[in-house]
Amino acid sequence: MIAQNVNEYFGPNIKVPGNPDLVRLQILIYDDPSPQGHKILKVEFNHTNISLKPADVWGFRGQGSFQIRPKKYKIKWTTQRDDFAWPRSITHEQEVVVASRDLWLQITLEGDSISIN
């Protein structure tokens, strides 16, 4: 039997060197793995486009890393559905709140869903 601690934290445990007011933010971008799932066409964080590459075997499209000040930010992404559903492309928007107590945030986009850790 193997014991595993699922609540273990592997992120940074100190503030950004040189500027303790900044918070690290990482955005991971994946296409939806299901055959009729949403494919990501465009991602924009705080009016900055994140470049995407063709999806690999796991649907990974790219990532963006930022060092930002605590406040509210917007992330927008556009997805494309299959050829038979209308509308074919949908723009999603989510507000991200970065608190001053945060050391690191990770946002994962997978098709039309988002998770913020």
**Which CATH number describes the domain made up of 25-116?**
2.60.40
pLDDT at 72 (0 to 100): 97
Q: Which pLDDT belongs to residue 13? A: 77
Query: 36 is written with which tokens?
Result: 């009729």
Measured between its terminal Cα atoms, the distance across the chain in Å is 29
Structure-token pair, residue 86: 């209308």
Q: 0.75 exceeded by the pTM?
A: yes
Summarize pLDDT for 70-110 with one digit per residue, the tens: 999 999 999 998 777 788 899 999 999 999 999 999 999 99
Whole-number Cα distances in Å, 64 to 29, 75, 91, 109: 9, 12, 19, 11
> Which whole number is the average pLDDT over 16-30?
91
- Could you tell me which residues are beta bridge partners of residue 29? 62, 109
Q: Domain residues of the chain, as ranges?
A: 25-116
Q: Give the confidence band of 14 by pLDDT, cuts at 50, 70, 90.
A: confident
**Predicted local distance difference test score (pLDDT) of residue 85:** 73
Give the mean model confidence (pLDDT) for residues 108-117: 94
